[in-house]
Amino acid sequence: MVWEIPGDDAPPVWNPSEHVPSYSSPNALTVTISPGVERTGNLWLKRFASDHSNFRKLVLAIVGESGLKGSVGDLADALPYSVYALESVQSEDLLGTIHFLRSKGWEVQGIIATGGVSNCLVGKAIKEHPVRFLATVGSNTPLKAPSTPLFHHAFPRTSSPKELSDWLLENEHSMTAWWTQYGTGRVLDVEGVQNFRHVGGYPTREGRVTRVGRLWRSGHPGGITESGVQTVLKHGIRTVFDLRSVGECAKYGTGEDLFAKHGIKRVYAPAYLDDDYSPMAMGMRFSLYSSGTEGFGYVYSQVAMKIVSAVRAMCDHILNNGTPFVLHCTAGKDRAGMTAAVFLAWAAGVDVDVVARDYGASQDIRKLSEEDRQRLAKEHDLTPDQVTNLNSTDPKGMHLAFTRLRRSLLGRHSTPSGEAPDPLETVEPDFLQFRKKYFQELVGLSSEQVLQVRDWLTEERSLVRDGHWKL
């Protein structure tokens, strides 16, 4: 049978008063790899006693002829994940399966390959779809590793599921640190779109970490190609939020026809409906903006108030759909940068210093040539230095924006204008008040909904507590 997994599927009901097995009966799941090509596997849905957010964390088990002692059901019993078991497949089938699972909202944490499954095949899949870990059981072929380091262990033939679980348990903290440093693949090469990246892997003040590949930000998609759309699809992105004005959409394009062709929904959520707020236009509108970081701080504090309706639309998507999405403006640094900053700092609880550095990364990604600098100066009647300022993403500008917002939203005095505040002394202790003021009072969410948004954006740093799985 073909078992459809809706993207907003709820966790299986678990009642501690009932005597239920730790995993359900396997469900046949047919994955369509390409027209006329299907592969069927079995999905064991983990029934978690307390943490249903782990329901969608999944391990892909590629089962060979031999090599694992015990059944895949025993593996599901031993691991803190749901398990999808698939018989030996070709490289394209494996890539298609991972792509399908992620597009449906499953978080593929790792791969367990048993009994003669080609490590070369697995290595190719991991290079395109990074995972936290790879465990091979009874394989004699060397691993063709991806370009980044990989958390990998080769187990001897007939190793037990408990041995795999013990290895994961012992290495969970190191694995999480490795994933944050190497595996997040933050910047995505999307043909025809600049500055396309997610905001995962950042630690929060509540002991959590932002999820990899959930919330993405980018420049405008007016030049996106067929290849670019395929890249977006491979990362499970099915919704695009456009923050630009009507004029900017007409000038630069929206990519909407190509998106619609592939089932990607464009949501129009302008910060400013009629006014052009691209970097060059803001430079002409606000002389302060083109003068340096103080101008950025002023403009961004205004943007934070203009994006409230857009933030609400994104929160509704998170609450009702839950699939990954990308938000964008024109350059992917001002309105997109401030929107991402609001989610990171106040919904997720990331330190403002880290938020400012994420904002500042746009300058390294968006390189402005001298030829472009001179051309833009001439087109917009600006000096080349003003063009440089307009395209900069100095973290101090974001710091100053939060300083102004602290004053306007919470009514508190800040450091003198023009000085970057110490985030731990001025802004950060207030993040819970900011969360309530912005997301509850302005955006209009309930306290429970705010926590749902936080949990969608973040996860606990480790599945281990006191030497045991948190199940």
Mean predicted confidence (pLDDT) in 75-92: 76
Is residue 244 within 8 Å of residue 330, measured between CB atoms?
yes
CATH number of the domain where residue 62 is located: 3.40.50.1820
| Banded pLDDT at 147 (limits 50, 70, 90) | very low
pLDDT of residue 245: 92
- Do 220 and 344 lie in a common domain? yes
Residue 24 is predicted with a pLDDT of 46
Residue with tokens 């746009």: 362
pLDDT at 102: 76
Q: How far is CA 410 from the centre of its chain?
A: 30
Residue 156 resides in a domain: yes
- 136 plus 210 within the same structural domain: no
pLDDT of residue 370: 73
Q: Are residues 257 and 362 in the same domain?
A: yes
Domain-ending residue, one of 183, 210, 239: 183
In a domain, 20, yes or no: no
Same domain as 290, residue 170: no
- Say whether both 256 and 329 belong to one domain: yes
Q: Which of 135, 151, 183 is the last residue of a domain?
A: 183
Q: What is the pTM of this model?
A: 0.68
Q: Which carries the bigger pLDDT value, residue 16 or residue 220?
A: 220
| Confidence bin at 16 (pLDDT 50/70/90) | very low
Instruction: Give percent of the chain with pLDDT exceeding 70.
Output: 68
Together in a domain, 256 and 372: yes
Range of the domain at 332: 197-460
| 4 is a domain residue | no
Number of domains in the chain: 2
DSSP 8-class letter at 231: H
Does 190 score more than 60 pLDDT?
yes
Judge whether 372 lies within some domain: yes
Do 173 and 48 share a structural domain? yes
Angle at 226 between CA 222 and CA 231, to 5 degrees: 95
Distances in Å between the alpha carbon of 195 and those of 33, 78, 256? Answer: 30, 41, 19
pLDDT at 236 over 60: yes
Question: Does any domain span residue 8?
Answer: no
Task: Residue 182: name the closest of 154, 209, 150 by CA.
Answer: 150
Q: Are 77 and 224 in a shared domain? A: no
Per-residue confidence (pLDDT) for residue 470, from 0 to 100: 58
> Tens digit of pLDDT for each residue in 162-179?
898 899 888 877 777 666
Mean of the pLDDT values across residues 404-418?
68
Q: Is residue 81 assigned to a domain? A: yes
Q: What is the pLDDT of residue 35?
A: 64
Q: How confident is the model at residue 17 (pLDDT cuts 50, 70, 90)?
A: very low
Bridge partners for 294 per DSSP: none
Assess whether 179 and 248 both reside in one domain. Answer: no
What CATH number is associated with residue 445?
Answer: 3.90.190.10
Are residues 178 and 36 both part of a single domain? yes
